[in-house]
Structures are given as C-alpha cells and as structure tokens.
Structure 1
Amino acid sequence: MSLSSRLKTLFPATLVLALCAGASQAADLPSPDLGKLLATGGVSQVEGAGGGGLTPWALITGYGTRDSYGANLHATAIRTQDYGLDSHGVAVGLADRVELSLARQTFRGSDGALDGLRIGQDIAGVKVRLAGDAVYEQDSWLPQIAVGAMAKRNTGVSGLAGVDNVKQLGAASDHGVDIYLSATRILLDRSLLINGTLRATRANQMGLLGFGGERGNHYQPMLEGSVAYLFSRTVVGGVEYRMKPRNLAVDREKDYYDVFVAWFPSKHVSLTAAWVALGDITVLNPTRQKGVYLSLQAGF
C-alpha cells in the first residue's frame, strides 16, 4: 500500500490536507532558529502531541519561532505491575502556529490474567494555535489557546484467545477521533505553568481498547489539567490529571494522573520521569495499575 493510500485509510481527509499543507509551508521556511525559551515547547505527550506526559498543552512543539519551525522525535515507556505501554513518534511545529504529529503505541500484558496480550494503535495529530502567546504576552489575561485533533486507528489484538479485534471486547469501533481545546498560561515571574484541556472523546483507554461500547457510543467532554513549576532553568516538575470515559462493560476505566519531573539540558534533548497511575484495565485484572513513566525527546 502506498504512503498516500495508508494516510487516507488511517486519517480523516481534513488531517491529510493539514499534513500536506504543513509540509508545503515547511519547504518555504528558513533554517530552524531555536528562538523559543528553553522548555517552552513542552515534552512529547504519550499520544504524540506537545505538552505534558498525559495531556496536550496549547504550546506548539519544538523551539522554532513564528518565523521558523521545530521538530522532535520521542520514545516513551510506561511500566506498571502488569502492563507496559510504549510510544514513539515524530512531531513538527510550523511558525509557532501549527503542530503536526505521528505516533505509534504498543500495549503489552506482562503479568496477571492478561499476560501476553498485545495491542497496537497509530495516531495522527494536528494542533493550531488560535490566540494568545503564553511567553511573550505576560501582561495579558488571555492564555495561549489551541485546538487540536487526534485521529486514532487500532491495529489489532494478539495474545488473547479467540480475540483479534477490539470490537470483540465490546468496542463499537476500532478507530476514532479525539478533539480538544487547550489553554496554557505561563507566569514567568512565578516560574509557573498552568494548563487546562477539554477533550471530546469516545476512546477507551486512549483508544487502545477501541471506541465506544455497550455503555455509550457518543462523544463525552473530559477535563484534563497540568500544573508545572520551574525549579531551575533546566528542571521542571509538576502534576497532571486526566478524566476518562467509561464505555465498556469489561473495562472499569479510571482517570489517569501522574507526578513528573523533566530535565532540559539543552534545546536538543529532554528527559522526563514520572510516577503514573492508570487505574484498572479490564475486569479480568482489577488491580489498580501504578508505575513509572520515562520519556526521551530529541529535536530542535
């Protein structure tokens, strides 16, 4: 299958058009200028967007200013008592206005009732800054505001007897789109970042268990929030919280939260570590899943 055919299969037409327009715009931009302040591009969120680990921010990824662009690669690993989640991908920020991202997630059971389970998911994202500038408009009450979308397609299930598609677990679909609105305020004089995100979604466990189910197959508004403090020029710490829908009878889904610290030794690399809580994952293993989150990001 050609790349264009795969994109059309994986993502809605609007996202494909955004990716093509973004690529065309990037061709006309000068060399990256690395003009944004350290850490203001955020890290790579587990679904590929720029922001925190669990939730996207209104900030545009990379260190390119409005006259340039930035990009990064990320590799993330989450390990709880019984499961592992890996994410890797690429994101591009254009003119500090548009962000495009691609990510692949792989979920594995490593112990308990779902030992050997493996589920994959591909994600394409687009984010557009609508208003405000979190860094340079310190005297304004208006936060930086961005709207975004994540198109997700589950790539199948293995390691679970008789199941090869999430629809066999009760999901209404194996693909879907999350739409979100984020507002980010940076208070430089207080070394503080505050972010709030409202996400419309019907994804089960971010889409790893499909979209919709017996308990509901409609979009629901979910709140997400982050607070981060700049301990030094290169070290940021904070907390995140993310509400989750509960669509599946086999999955008593719980909200996510974490406590994180991120190190930015330069504008080319960052390392994030966190303690994360993901709640229950299916009734087959009702243990509350808590563990570690590590993410490496490299770019400009």
Structure 2
Amino acid sequence: MKRVRLGGLRLLQSAALLVTAVCSSAAHADWYNDGKVLLTGGVFTVDGAGGGGAVPWATISGYETRDGINGSAAFTYVNLPALQVSFYGVNVGFYDRLELSYVTARLSLNLSNVDLVGLLTQSLNLGDSLGINAWNNTLQMDTYGAKLRLFGDAVYTSDSWIPQVSLGGLYKNNMSKDLVHTLGANKNKDYEVYLAATKVLFPISTLVNYTARYTSANEDGLVGFGECSGNGNCTNKRKIRSEVSIAHLVAKNTAIGGEWQQHGDNLDGKSLNLNGLDTQGLASLLQNLGLGGLSNSLTQKKEGDWFDLFMAYAPNKHISFVVAYLMFGNISVAPDQNGFYFSTHLTF
C-alpha cells in the first residue's frame, strides 16, 4: 500500500510539473491562452473535471480559447462528521476542445462501530484480509479523466438555445481493495461515462448544467462499485444517473449556486462483509455480551443523493476559491453526513 501511495504521489507531482512545463513552454510558443470569460471554465470537481464541486460541466477546464492551452492544479478538502477527504489534482485544456485530468483522493474514516469490528477481527487475525484497522481506517482513490466538446458553445452563442455538449470518461482505481470489499462493494476499480450539456443565460447571469452519468459507483467510487451479498452473489450493474448544477453570477468574479447528484442503491441494507461472517449474528453476540446493539450500526444505510450550496470567488484568472455546505445524507454505515467543503484552483 505504501508503494502504491508513493507511486500516486510521484505521478501527481510529475503531472503537476508537466502542466507547469507545458504551459510555460507554450507561453513562449504562443500556445498559452487565457481569453475566456472569468469563471466560465468552471472550477475543479472532485473527479478532476472542470465543472462545479461535484458535477462535471460541458465546459473545458481553464481559460483557453480555441487558439491555446491552459493548465490547472487544485486542492479540495471535505470535512464531514464521519469522514474527511483531501483531493489533489491537475488538468489541462487543449484549444477549448479536449480536457485531460488526474486527481487522487485520500479519505479518513471515523466510524467507531467499524473501529470496534477492526479491533475484534484483528484479535482473531482476520484484520489483514478485511482491510479494517482498529482505528484510522483510510481509503485512497485515483481518477483519470478525459472530456471532449462535441458541439455548441456555452458562453458565446447567447442568441441560440443550443447548449455546449461534451462527452467525458473517468477511470477510477480505489487502492483500498480489501476495505472496499468489506464494505460490500463488488469492484474497487471501474469506469464511468457522462454526457454534459451546459448553457450560460446572459440576460439573467446564470449558468445551468445537466449531466447524465453511466456508472455503478457507490459514493462516487469512494466505497467501490457494485455490490456483493453475503452468499457471494456479486453484481456491477451500471445505470444512468442525473446531475444538475445552477450557478448565478452576482458579480463578475463571484458566483453562488447549488448542485444535485443522484446516487445509487447498491449497498442499501447490506451488512459488512467479514469474509462471509454474518455481522447481524456478530452484533447479536456482542449485544448479549453487553457491548451494545451493533446490528443496526453494522448495516449500510440508504445511500443519499449529494446536494451542495456553494460560493465561488475568483480575484483573477490565476486563482479561485470555492466554499460550500454539503448535504450528503448517509454514507456507508454513517448517517446524516452534512458538512463543509473548501477548494482552491490555480490556473496556469
């Protein structure tokens, strides 16, 4: 795991250096370009694509026009009661047509019930195969993305109702394979495809976006893809899920808005998978021993859709900040995960 994490960090560092080098060299070759209107490229999503905080837009990240290249790097921190996530990423926009991105996420779980299971399974020498520690459980996921603008222009064709439409793809690799399977997922890595349509309505200074995502992800992939039941029956059925963003420009450098991201039900009602051990029975045993009723707390809650309310501020085209209030509902065995989000986005 340490080698994997070090590899991911080295890849991120190399990508960041590549973005800087490309953009610096491009400036000398008249490739670098930042001619688009402030904030119209979107900010850095948790998947690395240009868009809102969680929803990818049809716009190509950065401020490049069709005559140039623009690169970005970003850091995002999400703070919820039961988990904290840090995202580090880079992306590059080519001629306002193609976008390539990479982001790595590190998630820390603070679940006392799972920690207790980790303590017990480690005592029984089952901990290594389950990926659960007695404390400080962590997940890491790397996401590679590409987006291609198909047709339309979100900004400069205000006299037309035709939106900008882009096709995107994401490949997500969750490094914490054992823990993901313990949480009930079928796969720790998978692909997603999305189609996004974005339009800026200049008369009311408002951007609207709709994205259809084809995926089997649980919590955006942070807890894997698909599901496995206790009897070993595993499925990875992908479905089309809807996502919506609305952003209103209150000043030329400040926007407020909200997002909704539809989620699936793969793990709803599923107990933790402890190498085939019935956690319902384990919970009853612990209750008889006076350790509390863990039956409910070891069962996955109904996965909630993601909602957020955000404010984005860009003092110039080189840096922007986003703060948001997140309403993520239930995540795995943790209910009511509402909290805060902070992101800074650097554009080169």
TM-score by length of 2: 0.74
What residue number does 1:177 align with?
Answer: 191
Instruction: Indicate the SS of the match to 1:279.
Output: coil
What residue number does 2:226 align with?
Answer: 212
Q: Distance in 2 between matches of 1:113 and 1:101?
A: 36
The one-character-per-residue Cα deviations of 1:188-220 (angstroms, maximum 9, x if unpaired) are: 221100000000000111111111103752111
What residue number does 1:266 align with?
Answer: 316
**Which stretch of the first structure deviates more once superposed, 165-174 or 256-265?**
165-174
Q: Distance in 2 between matches of 1:63 and 1:205?
A: 30
Matched, 1:126 2:170: no
The one-character-per-residue Cα deviations of 1:231-272 (angstroms, maximum 9, x if unpaired) are: 001110000000001112243211000000000100000000
What residue number does 1:232 align with?
Answer: 251
Instruction: Indicate the SS of the match to 1:298.
Output: strand
The alignment covers a number of residue pairs equal to 272
**Which stretch of the first structure deviates more once superposed, 115-124 or 211-220?**
211-220
The one-character-per-residue Cα deviations of 1:67-89 (angstroms, maximum 9, x if unpaired) are: 10111000000101121011110
The residue identity in structure 2 corresponding to 1:278 is: F
Correspondence for 2:173 among 136, 153, 163 = 153
Is contact 1:48–1:90 with CA below 8 Å preserved after alignment?
A: yes
Q: Percent identity?
A: 38
Instruction: Indicate the SS of the match to 1:296.
Output: strand
Instruction: Indicate the SS of the match to 1:206.
Output: helix
Is contact 2:183–2:332 with CA below 8 Å preserved after alignment?
A: no
Instruction: Indicate the SS of the match to 2:86.
Output: strand
What residue number does 2:240 align with?
Answer: 221
Is contact 2:305–2:329 with CA below 8 Å preserved after alignment?
A: yes
What residue number does 2:274 align with?
Answer: none
What residue number does 1:65 align with?
Answer: 65
Note closer, same or farther for the CA distance 1:170–1:82 as it changes in structure 2 (3 Å cut). closer
Is contact 2:26–2:32 with CA below 8 Å preserved after alignment?
A: no
Q: Distance in 2 between matches of 1:63 and 1:110?
A: 39
Q: Which runs of 5+ in 1 are unaligned?
A: 1-5, 11-22, 158-163
What residue number does 1:256 align with?
Answer: 306
TM-score by length of 1: 0.86
What residue number does 1:196 align with?
Answer: 210
The residue identity in structure 1 corresponding to 2:224 is: G
Correspondence for 2:180 among 145, 161, 166 = 166
Q: Distance in 2 between matches of 1:72 and 1:220?
A: 31
Q: Distance in 1 between matches of 2:34 and 2:183?
A: 46
Q: Which runs of 5+ in 2 are unaligned?
A: 1-6, 12-21, 115-134, 230-234, 272-299
Correspondence for 2:327 among 250, 267, 277 = 277
Q: Distance in 1 between matches of 2:155 and 2:196?
A: 15
- Higher-Rg structure is 2
The residue identity in structure 1 corresponding to 2:325 is: W
The residue identity in structure 2 corresponding to 1:153 is: N
What residue number does 1:14 align with?
Answer: none
Q: Distance in 2 between matches of 1:97 and 1:33?
A: 13
Is contact 1:82–1:112 with CA below 8 Å preserved after alignment?
A: no
The residue identity in structure 1 corresponding to 2:316 is: S
Is contact 1:81–1:111 with CA below 8 Å preserved after alignment?
A: no
Is contact 2:26–2:69 with CA below 8 Å preserved after alignment?
A: no
Instruction: Indicate the SS of the match to 2:227.
Output: coil
Give the helix-richer structure, 1 or 2: 2
What residue number does 1:49 align with?
Answer: 49
Q: Distance in 1 between matches of 2:154 and 2:140?
A: 35
- Dislocated runs of 4+, deviation >4 Å: 26-29
Q: Distance in 2 between matches of 1:211 and 1:137?
A: 39
The one-character-per-residue Cα deviations of 1:31-88 (angstroms, maximum 9, x if unpaired) are: 3121000001100001111000010000000011001011100000010112101111
Correspondence for 2:344 among 289, 296, 300 = 296
Matched, 1:242 2:261: yes
What residue number does 1:140 align with?
Answer: 160
